[in-house]
Amino acid sequence: LEVTRTHLAKVPPRWSRKQTLANAERFITPELKELESRILSSEDQVLRLEAKLFEQVRGAALERRAALSRFAGLIAELDVLNALAEAAALNDYVKPKVDLSHRLLLEEARHPVVETTLAAGSFVPNSLGLDGSDPQVLILTGPNMGGKSTFLRQNALIAVMAQLGSFVPAKAATVGIVDKVLTRIGAQDALARGESTFMVEMNETARILKAATPRSLLILDEVGRGTSTFDGISIAWAVLEHLSRAYRADGEGPRGPRVLFATHYFELTKLAELLPGVCNANVEAREWTNAEGHTDVVFLHKISPGPADRSFGIHVARLAGLPEACLRRAREILASLESEAKGRAAEPELPLFEDHPVLHELRLLDVDEVTPVQALARIAEWKKRL
């Protein structure tokens, strides 16, 4: 309380002087002093009260932890189901058929994430037809930026979505139960472990081949690209042969897992003629000449049956901004290499990977399922063909 010097005589005796100013004095009363003390100590009291109440709430929660845990699980499940239902309603999903077959049949399927980042209706849907017996291995070729990786990923995502009870982004879908989705996508090294990009790729591929079962779905993107061309082709070829080989745990069912294999090694497309259960598909692209006389490429993002024959890598390099001189030189070198390849193909010698069909049939033969009479008949047939 501030009192001017002219009124100092009126100050009650029980007031205590607190501060002296030039023209006044400040005093404090016992009541104000007590109030100040209570205010200063109130923060500590609040903290103690909060801690006490928290302990009480925690104790009550612990007494009912089992019920609360079940309740939290139910709320989480409802939240997931509500999110899936909302996504299905907003994005025109359909109810998939999930059964015990080995099929993966998707009609006009879409990537559930990529399509939400594009304008409505602009995502190009694609179908997949692995019918449970033949084919089971799809070799996908086509240009860079054509949509191969998106196609691989969308099929894996749809298989997972179908099995967790969600509707899926497709016009129709039949998904045979998948026990594992095994993927080999992307390129990265592991410097801390002293592993190169190719070593990481081979480690992942080895784990996939060991873990795959007839009910697995394998997504393999450009296996073998981390080494030389011939080494890469050889490894990829052998991996595909291994996956298409008959290994049946129960004596029935498909020849192997369902496999989607994207590659730029066009030599691998010959496997569709040599191995059972293997088929080719490609990502469509169209060339056209623009007003400036340059050849442009339009990526249609559409999957069609049959192999591709070009990757359009130089076109992608131009889109990335490589100098025109580099691009021009790249075209010259490409033309020279293609000319040499055509010349070698015309020579009367066996191609690098053209094994005799009998050899492939022999590799695929399961001796445990063939009787002696059948084996003799097979040998007689092969002898005539050799």
CATH of domain 2-63: 1.10.1420.10
Answer yes or no: is pLDDT of 248 > 50. no
Token pair in block for residue 64: 């009912």
pLDDT at 114: 94
Length of the chain: 386
pLDDT digits (tens, 9 = 90+) for 110-134: 999 999 999 988 999 999 998 876 6
- Could you tell me where the beta strands, DSSP code E, fall in 45-180? 97-99, 104-109, 126-130, 137-141, 172-176
181-185, 305-309, 373-377: the lowest-pLDDT one = 373-377
Residue spans per domain, the chain? 2-63, 94-314, 355-386
SS (H, E, C) 222-250: CCCCCCCHHHHHHHHHHHHHHHHCCCCCC
Q: Is this model's pTM higher than 0.75 or not?
A: no
Please calculate the CA angle 342-350-221 and round it to the nearest 5 degrees: 70
CATH 3.30.1340.10 correct for 94-314: no
Q: Which residue shows structure tokens 């060991």?
A: 210
Is the torsion defined by CA of 214, 217, 222, 228 positive or negative? negative
What average pLDDT does the segment 152-159 reach?
96
Whether the pLDDT of residue 87 is over 80: the answer is yes
Average pLDDT over residues 40-54: 89
Q: In what order do the strands lie in the sheet with 295-305?
A: 181-184, 217-221, 258-262, 137-141, 278-289, 295-305
What is the token pair recorded at 55? 């302990």
